[in-house]
C-alpha cells in the first residue's frame, strides 16, 4: 500500500509461478471482493450479461463482470447509474465490476469503423480517420468526437470525460482512455497514435486523482480496502468505499519497440504521486502473435501489478495469454456465440442447430457442471433455437460462460500444482483432434 491519498490499488499479490515463464496466479482485492487470478471476466456490455440473471453468473463461478462505459453513458446515462448506487448495485451484482473506457466503442462499434475499413480496405486507416466525411468518429489530440449509434447525436470523449463517466459508473476497475488503432494503420500513424495515448494516460491519471480525492469518504481511508465478502446490495445502504483502481492501457499494435516503450512509459508514469494500479493490454493483436506481444508487454510491466488482456476468450488464446503473464481477461465471445446456438465443448465449438441434435437426449457435455447441462438436453436446446424461444439464449450462455470460467479456473489450479503444460496439451490436443 502507499500513503498517497489517491492511489487506491486493488491489492494484488502474486501466488504461484509458471517456472521461469511469466505466467502466475494471484489475488486482486477490490472493495467488492477478491478475484483469484488468472480469471475470466464475463462481459455485461449494458449492465447485463445478455439473457442471464446475475445470480446465475455468480453460480457459474464468474468472479467479476465487465460493462462498457460508452454504452452506459448513452443509455441510461452514467448519472442514472451513479444515482442507483453504482454499476454493481444498479444491475444487482454484488461482486467486483470493471468498465472499459469507451475508447474502443467510440472508435469502432459506435463509429462504424469496421464497416468503413471493410468497404475500403486498401486505404490506410489513418487516411480513413483523417478524411472520410461520413465517418462517425474523429480523433484529435484532445479527444474524440463521435456520433451515437443510437440516435446519431454528437458527443465528445476526452480523457477527462471518460474518467468522469467511469467514476460515476462506479466500477472497481476502470481503464484509461486510449486510441484504438488497427493493423492496417501505418507505422507512422501507430507512433502518432501511441504518443496521443500516452498523453491521454497522463491526463487520465490527473483526472482520476482529482475525482478520487473528491469522493474519498474519510481522509486516510484507502478506497480499495476490502469490506469483507461480496454481499447482496441492500436498498438504502451506502455504496461503500468506491474509489476505483485505474489501469493504463498498453497499445502499440504489432511493433515490439512500440509495445515495450508503451509498457515502460505507463509503468513509470506518475502524476502528483499517482500511478496506474494495473494495466490493460489492448489494441490490434493477431491471434498468432498474441503470446509474443503479451510477452513483450508483461516483460516490461511491474511484477506486482495486475494485467488485464482486453477482448480474448478462446481456449488457445487464454492458454497463450496466461503463459505470457496476463492475469484477467474479458470477452463477449461466449455469450455472443451462445445466442447463435454455438456452444463450447471439450471437442471445440459446436452448433446446436444441426439436425443431428434433434434427438440427442443428453447434455451438451456429460462432465460439465453447469446448470444447463444438469437439467437440459441438446434435443431441448435444439428445439428452443428452432422455435426461437428466449430461453435458448439463457441456457446456452450459462453453459458457455461456465465453460470459459471453468477452463481458466483449471489453468489457475494447474499453475498451482505445476501441471499447466499438461492441461494445455490435453485441452488443445482434444480440440484440434476433433476439428
Which are the catalytic amino acids? 100, 330
Q: Which stretch binds Zn ion (CB under 5 A): 213-221, 222-230, 231-239, 373-381?
A: 373-381
Binding residue (CB under 5 A) for Zn ion from 64, 373, 381, 414: 373
Q: Is 113 or 376 the residue whose CB approaches Zn ion more closely?
A: 376
Window 386-425: contact mask with Zn ion (x via CB under 5 A): -------------x--------------------------
| Residues between 288 and 347 that touch Zn ion (CB under 5 A) | none
Q: Is 296 or 385 the residue whose CB approaches Zn ion more closely?
A: 385
Q: Is 69 or 364 the residue whose CB approaches Zn ion more closely?
A: 364
| Number of residues near Zn ion (by CB under 5 A) | 5
Is residue 378 a contact residue for Zn ion (CB under 5 A)? no
Report the length, in residues, of the chain: 435
- Phi, psi for 208 (deg, rounded to 5): -60, -40
Which sign does the torsion angle of CA 153, 156, 161, 166 carry? positive
Q: Which stretch binds Zn ion (CB under 5 A): 28-36, 88-96, 121-129, 360-368?
A: 360-368
Please give the angle made by the CA atoms of 116, 118 and 119, to the nearest 5 degrees.
Answer: 65
Measured from the CB of residue 399, what is the shortest distance to Zn ion in angstroms? 4
Is residue 370 a contact residue for Zn ion (CB under 5 A)? yes
Measured from the CB of residue 367, what is the shortest distance to Zn ion in angstroms? 9
Measured from the CB of residue 379, what is the shortest distance to Zn ion in angstroms? 15
188-204 in b/e burial notation, b at 16+ Cβ within 10 A?
A: ebbbbbbebbbebbbbb
- Phi, psi for 211 (deg, rounded to 5): -65, -35
Is residue 352 a contact residue for Zn ion (CB under 5 A)? no
Is residue 203 a contact residue for Zn ion (CB under 5 A)? no
Measured from the CB of residue 369, what is the shortest distance to Zn ion in angstroms? 7
Q: Is 210 or 399 the residue whose CB approaches Zn ion more closely?
A: 399
Q: Is 72 or 368 the residue whose CB approaches Zn ion more closely?
A: 368
Measured from the CB of residue 345, what is the shortest distance to Zn ion in angstroms? 9
Q: Which stretch binds Zn ion (CB under 5 A): 265-273, 311-319, 363-371, 407-415?
A: 363-371
Separation of CA 398 from chain center? 18
Is residue 368 a contact residue for Zn ion (CB under 5 A)? yes
Measured from the CB of residue 102, what is the shortest distance to Zn ion in angstroms? 33
Asked whether 31 and 240 are in contact (CB, 8 A), the reply is yes
Instruction: Find, among 270, 250, 164, 272, the residue nearest to 208 by Cα.
Output: 164
Q: Which stretch binds Zn ion (CB under 5 A): 49-57, 94-102, 321-329, 368-376?
A: 368-376
Measured from the CB of residue 396, what is the shortest distance to Zn ion in angstroms? 9
| Residues between 269 and 288 that touch Zn ion (CB under 5 A) | none
Cα-trace Rg, the chain: 21
Q: Which stretch binds Zn ion (CB under 5 A): 4-12, 36-44, 219-227, 361-369?
A: 361-369
Q: Is 155 or 349 the residue whose CB approaches Zn ion more closely?
A: 349
Q: Is 3 or 367 the residue whose CB approaches Zn ion more closely?
A: 367
The CB density around residue 409, as the number of other CB atoms within 10 Å, is 17
Instruction: Find, among 208, 38, 74, 210, the residue nearest to 148 by Cα.
Output: 74
Residues that bind Zn ion (CB under 5 A): 368, 370, 372-373, 399
Amino acid at each position: 500500500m502507499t500513503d498517497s491519498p489517491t492511489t487506491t490499488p486493488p491489492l494484488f499479490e502474486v501466488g504461484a509461478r509458471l517456472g521461469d515463464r511469466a505466467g502466475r496466479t494471484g489475488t486482486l482485492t477490490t472493495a467488492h471482493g477478491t478475484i483469484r487470478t488468472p480469471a475470466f471476466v464475463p462481459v455485461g456490455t449494458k449492465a447485463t450479461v445478455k439473457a442471464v440473471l446475475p445470480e446465475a453468473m455468480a453460480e457459474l463461478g464468474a468472479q467479476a463482470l465487465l460493462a462498457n462505459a460508452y454504452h452506459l453513458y448513452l443509455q441510461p446515462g452514467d448519472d442514472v447509474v451513479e444515482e442507483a448506487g453504482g454499476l454493481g448495485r444498479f444491475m444487482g451484482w454484488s461482486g467486483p465490476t470493471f468498465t472499459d473506457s469507451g475508447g474502443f466503442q467510440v472508435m469502432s462499434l459506435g463509429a462504424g469503423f469496421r464497416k468503413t475499413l471493410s468497404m475500403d480496405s486498401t486505404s490506410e486507416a489513418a487516411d480513413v480517420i483523417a478524411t472520410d466525411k461520413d465517418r462517425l468518429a474523429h480523433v484529435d489530440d484532445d479527444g474524440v468526437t463521435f456520433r451515437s449509434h443510437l440516435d446519431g447525436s454528437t458527443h465528445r470523449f476526452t480523457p477527462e470525460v471518460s474518467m468522469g463517466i467511469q467514476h460515476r459508473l462506479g466500477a472497481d476497475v476502470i481503464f484509461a482512455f486510449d486510441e484504438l488503432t488497427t493493423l492496417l494503420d501505418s507505422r507512422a500513424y501507430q507512433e502518432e497514435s501511441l504518443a496521443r495515448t500516452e498523453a491521454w494516460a497522463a491526463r487520465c491519471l490527473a483526472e482520476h486523482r482529482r475525482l478520487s480525492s473528491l469522493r474519498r469518504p474519510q481522509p486516510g481511508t484507502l478506497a480499495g480496502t476490502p469490506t469483507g465478502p461480496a454481499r447482496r446490495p441492500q436498498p438504502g445502504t451506502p455504496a461503500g468505499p468506491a474509489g476505483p483502481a485505474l489501469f493504463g492501457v498498453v497499445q502499440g499494435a504489432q511493433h515490439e519497440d512500440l509495445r515495450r516503450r508503451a509498457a515502460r512509459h505507463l509503468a513509470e508514469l506518475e502524476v502528483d504521486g499517482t500511478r496506474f494500479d494495473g494495466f490493460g493490454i489492448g489494441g490490434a493483436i493477431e491471434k498468432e502473435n498474441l503470446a509474443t506481444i503479451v510477452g513483450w508487454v508483461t516483460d516490461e510491466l511491474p511484477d506486482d501489478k495486475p494485467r488485464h488482456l482486453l477482448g480474448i476468450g478462446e481456449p488457445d488464446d487464454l492458454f497463450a495469454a496466461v503463459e505470457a503473464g496476463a492475469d484477467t481477461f474479458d470477452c463477449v465471445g461466449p455469450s455472443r456465440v451462445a445466442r447463435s446456438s454455438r456452444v463450447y465443448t471439450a471437442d471445440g465449438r459446436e452448433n446446436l442447430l444441426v439436425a443431428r441434435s434433434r434427438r440427442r437426449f443428453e447434455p451438451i457435455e456429460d462432465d460439465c457442471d453447469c446448470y444447463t447441462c444438469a437439467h437440459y438436453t441438446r434435443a431441448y436446446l435444439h428445439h428452443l433455437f428452432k422455435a426461437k424461444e428466449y430461453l435458448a439464449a439463457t441456457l446456452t450462455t450459462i453453459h458457455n460462460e461456465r465453460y470459459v470460467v471453468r477452463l481458466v479456473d483449471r489453468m489457475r489450479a494447474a499453475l498451482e500444482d505445476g501441471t499447466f503444460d499438461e492441461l494445455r496439451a490435453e485441452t488443445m490436443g482434444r480440440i484440434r483432434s476433433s476439428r
